[in-house]
Amino acid sequence: MSTPYAKLPGWVEYGLIPLTNLAVAFLVAGLVVLLVGENPFEAAYHLINGAFGRGEYIGFTLYYATTFIFTGLAVAVAFHAGLFNIGGEGQAYVGGIGVALACLWLDQVMPWYVVFPLAILGSAFFGALWAFLPGWLQAKRGSHIVITTIMFNFIASSLMVYLLTRVLKPLGSMAPQTRNFAEGGQLPKLDWLLSIFGLNVGTAPFNISFLLALAAAFGVWVLIWRTKLGYEMRTMGHSPSAARYAGIRESRITVITMMISGGLAGMMALNPIMGEQFRMQLDFVQGAGFVGIAVALMGRSHPGGIIPAAILFGVLYQGGAEIAFEMPSISRDMIVIIQGLVILFAGALENMFRPAITRAFAMRGQRAAAVVQTKGA
Amino acid sequence: MDFFHVLVVLLESTIRVSVPLVFAALAGLFTERAGVFDIGLEGKMLGAAFAAGAVAAVTQSVWMGLIAAILISVLLSLIHGYASITQRGNQIVSGVAINFIVAGSTVILGQAWFRQGGRTPALGEGARFQTINFPGADAIRHVPVLGPIYADLLSGHFLLTYLAFAMVPASWWILYRTRFGLRLRAVGENPGAVDTAGISVIWLRYRAVICCGILCGFAGAYLSLAMTAGFVKGMTAGKGYIALAALIFAKWRPFNVMLACLLFGFLDALAIRLQGTPLPLVGQVPVQLMQALPYILTVILLAGFIGKAIPPKAGGVPYVKER
């Protein structure tokens, strides 16, 4: 039972096994579609068509993907240090304060390229702040990071309701949101990027924060695999005792990792606030922090996997809207099921098919060896 | 006398909102004491509430609803058990997955079967729990002090309410006075020792997970068959996480669990009561602060500022026989 898993070729380890898990998750999702009396293949057609059918749809797909790259990276960075940050949702929500403050302060006097860097710093700062406390509490007081980050999600939600209804709401307005931002608080669209491919972005809010997300993904890759800090984080994630023996300060790494993770989650707020709504409203995160968990697990915590995984979830969000339009009995809650199934099969049950696949490869290996032997004789 | 009246009303609603917390927190107590972390309490409760509402609406029987709630909740528990005990997957990840799967499927299935925007049909008399009035409750209601306590606080609750509070000593007895309980606690502290004694760690943990499922089933059934007449989408509204907080706040002990649940329930009732009324000395307290208080208290407790919460030693670690 306890024999360690045999080493498999790279394309099996990073290709076949994750794809098998993903396929099973979608198979089960298809069963749910059957259960409500609809045709899963028709649903799949609407999904693909709704996500890629037009330039505008692609714009929306990439807009959602931008959000999920940020939250996926946030979860992944923490994973590398052996920390499970469920607080991405709260960190992104609080990160919105930084974006809103920068925009409310300067949007009427400065162009977007002055406000944007400040908003990036602001969002990362507030997101990091919201992750700092759980990190510090884990490092210094030994409280479990999973529980504290869950609690901080709820605290963040109460805090933001308070701020939006009492502090940031303009006088005389009833809706719990900030005022609309002027031009300086609106990010330019990436219509030129899609028009290279002859696509028209239309009304899709596909904006420049997508490029920031790609840069962040590259930055995370450099951090994790090309810096001393990243090496220390990975060491701690693999074996805390080895890290301690090597003189790596656990508490320092825990706090720094959580702050980087929270900062990345906070930067997610740029995309909806400055890129789409041009104001901060209640619940603008809409579960993206939790999607980040699925994205990180599916992308195996590697930026090269996280970007496609984020795009896949972008497809689900955008295509899911199309399914809900065409097939009313499948609402957008279907995405929540798929998200849960992906987390289950790519995360908790990731090794379910491994023994069978390993056995298949061992058998093939033996047969190949036998062939070589007979030829030799 | 007016203050006393307000207090009785407040305590009465405290009991009403605490019941699902007590069930769910005790459910968590069983698994976590056996070394399986469970943040899927929320999902199990929601799934059970949906099953109860749906089955009671179709069969018009409250008992069928209750049985369905327990079955679904146990099934979800077994999925969590399979992932975290047999497959040795990450228990947190598995719990998160269950929460999402249930949150989505209750809406989709509810809409597909009943077409009421994710609700189940409103339940009539026979399809939901009725309150139980103690004998003579109305007669002595007007006796000062004791009357309201007997008639409003002790009497006039649902069967499940009394069951929830009876489960507290029962859980204590099972965990601390039976062989099963001793082994269950041992498997959460040192599974290797239990294995050496020739007892199956796997089977023990599965039994703990099933206990958790049954209790979560009661919690869900209470929500949709007693507290309200039918299932409403997302009706657990974070209660599973509050129960988890209460469990930690109670340092994994049955009687403390009840007190923590009552405290969090009281805060909830107080928040509703205080909406818009200023307090002496502090002035008006924002409702949001009251709502966040259970979570803030748990964070402070976890940080070791109000005593130290020490989780079961083997919690969250899948058991591997050799190596």
- The answer to whether residues A80 and A157 belong to one domain is yes
Q: Is the pLDDT of residue A141 over 90?
A: no
Higher pLDDT, A4 or B30: B30
CATH of the domain at A63: 1.10.3470
Inspect the interface and report whether the beta carbons of B112 and A37 lie closer than 8 Å: yes
Q: If contacts are CB pairs under 8 Å, which of residues 282-311 in chain B contact chain A?
A: 286, 288-289, 291-292, 295-296, 298-299, 302-304, 309, 311
- Find the mean pLDDT for residues A266-288: 90
Judging contacts by C-beta atoms under 8 Å, the chain B residues touching residue A329 are: 108, 111-112
CA B105 from centroid of its chain's CA atoms: 21
- The answer to whether residues A199 and A149 belong to one domain is yes
Q: Is the pLDDT of residue B273 over 80?
A: no
Inspect the interface and report whether the beta carbons of A339 and B107 lie closer than 8 Å: no
* Residue of A39, A298, A333 best to disrupt the B interface, most CBs of B under 10 A: A333
| Alpha carbons B54 and B116: distance in angstroms, whole number | 12
pLDDT of residue A374: 65
| Alpha carbons A58 and A45: distance in angstroms, whole number | 15
Q: If contacts are CB pairs under 8 Å, which of residues 15-74 in chain B contact chain A?
A: 37, 39
Inspect the interface and report whether the beta carbons of B292 and A154 lie closer than 8 Å: yes
Domains in chain B, start-ordered, CATH in brackets?
A: 2-130+145-302 (1.10.3470)
Judging contacts by C-beta atoms under 8 Å, the chain A residues touching residue B97 are: 340-341, 343-344, 347-348
A281 in helix, strand or coil? strand
pLDDT of residue A168: 82
Q: Which of residues A291, A311, A327 is at a domain's end?
A: A327
Q: Flag whether A6 is in a domain.
A: yes
In terms of residue numbers, what domain contains A350? 1-38+329-377
* Residue of A22, A343, A354 best to disrupt the B interface, most CBs of B under 10 A: A343
What's chain A's average pLDDT?
Answer: 87
Inspect the interface and report whether the beta carbons of B93 and A162 lie closer than 8 Å: no
CA A134 from centroid of its chain's CA atoms: 20
pLDDT of residue B55: 92
Count of other CB atoms within 10 angstroms of residue A192: 9
- Within 8 A by CB and 6+ apart from B139, the residues are none
pLDDT of residue B102: 93
Nearest to B89 among A162, A331, A350 (CB): A350
Backbone phi, psi, residue A284, to 5°: -70, -15
Q: Is the pLDDT of residue A329 over 70?
A: yes
Q: What is the pLDDT of residues B205-245, one digit of tens each?
A: 999 999 999 999 999 999 998 888 888 888 888 889 889 88
Q: If contacts are CB pairs under 8 Å, which of residues 94-153 in chain B contact chain A?
A: 94, 96-105, 107-109, 111-112, 118
Higher pLDDT, A7 or A190: A190
- The answer to whether residues A315 and A194 belong to one domain is yes
Judging contacts by C-beta atoms under 8 Å, the chain A residues touching residue B296 are: 151, 155
* Residue of B98, B108, B249 best to disrupt the A interface, most CBs of A under 10 A: B108
Angle at A298 between CA A98 and CA A305, to 5 degrees: 75
- The answer to whether residues A127 and A230 belong to one domain is yes
Would residue A221 be called left, alpha or beta, if left means φ above 0 and alpha means ψ between -120 and 50 degrees?
alpha
Binning pLDDT at 50, 70 and 90, where does residue B322 land? low
pLDDT of residue B74: 95
- Residues of chain B with pLDDT > 90, as a percent, come to 33
Nearest CA in chain A to B102: A337
Q: Flag whether A51 is in a domain.
A: no
- The answer to whether residues A175 and A212 belong to one domain is yes
- The answer to whether residues A118 and A34 belong to one domain is no
- The answer to whether residues A97 and A196 belong to one domain is yes
pLDDT of residue A308: 92
Q: What is the pLDDT of residues B144-171, one digit of tens each?
A: 777 777 777 777 788 888 999 999 999 9
| CB contact at 8 A, A317 and A273 | no
Q: Flag whether A183 is in a domain.
A: yes
- Find the mean pLDDT for residues A19-26: 88
Of A250, A260, A362, A343, give the one whose Cα is nearest residue B83: A343
- Find the mean pLDDT for residues A222-233: 94
Higher pLDDT, B168 or A361: B168
- The answer to whether residues A333 and A304 belong to one domain is no
Find tokens 């840069």 and name the residue.
A215
Binning pLDDT at 50, 70 and 90, where does residue B122 land? confident
pLDDT of residue A375: 61
- Find the mean pLDDT for residues B76-92: 89
| Alpha carbons A129 and A118: distance in angstroms, whole number | 16
Count of other CB atoms within 10 angstroms of residue B200: 13
- The answer to whether residues A220 and A92 belong to one domain is yes
Please state the domain count of chain A. Answer: 2
A2 in helix, strand or coil? coil
DSSP H/E element including B62: helix B62-81
Judging contacts by C-beta atoms under 8 Å, the chain A residues touching residue B102 are: 340
pLDDT of residue B115: 80
Q: Flag whether A46 is in a domain.
A: no
DSSP letters, A175-213, are: SSBPPPP-GGG-PPB-HHHHHTTT---TT---BTHHHHH
* Residue of A349, A350, A352, A354 best to disrupt the B interface, most CBs of B under 10 A: A349
Nearest to A340 among B83, B101, B241 (CB): B101
- The complex scores an ipTM of 0.86
| CB contact at 8 A, B271 and B281 | no
pLDDT of residue A142: 77
pLDDT of residue A2: 47
Binning pLDDT at 50, 70 and 90, where does residue A311 land? very high
Of A64, A123, A119, give the one whose Cα is nearest residue A264: A123
Nearest to B302 among A147, A162, A297 (CB): A147
Nearest to A146 among B83, B92, B98 (CB): B92
Q: Flag whether A50 is in a domain.
A: no
Highest mean pLDDT among A39-48, A52-61, A256-265: A256-265
pLDDT of residue A365: 75
| Alpha carbons B83 and B95: distance in angstroms, whole number | 10
Determine the distance in angstroms separating the CA of A232 from the nearest CA of chain B, rounded to an integer.
Answer: 23
Q: If contacts are CB pairs under 8 Å, which of residues 77-96 in chain B contact chain A?
A: 79, 83-84, 87-94, 96
* Residue of B44, B50, B96 best to disrupt the A interface, most CBs of A under 10 A: B96
- The answer to whether residues A282 and A152 belong to one domain is yes
Nearest to A336 among B92, B98, B103 (CB): B103
Judging contacts by C-beta atoms under 8 Å, the chain B residues touching residue A147 are: 244-245, 248, 298, 302
Higher pLDDT, B134 or A94: A94
A vs B, Cβ pairs < 8 A, gives: 154
Q: Is the pLDDT of residue A194 over 80?
A: yes
Q: Flag whether A83 is in a domain.
A: yes
Q: Which two tokens mark B165?
A: 């509070």
- The answer to whether residues A126 and A138 belong to one domain is yes
Enumerate the β-bridge partners of residue A207. Answer: A189
Q: Which two tokens mark A242?
A: 């080895």
Binning pLDDT at 50, 70 and 90, where does residue A1 land? very low
Q: Flag whether A79 is in a domain.
A: yes
Nearest to A147 among B107, B248, B288 (CB): B248
Q: What is the pLDDT of residues B26-71, one digit of tens each?
A: 999 999 999 888 888 999 999 999 999 999 988 888 899 999 999 9
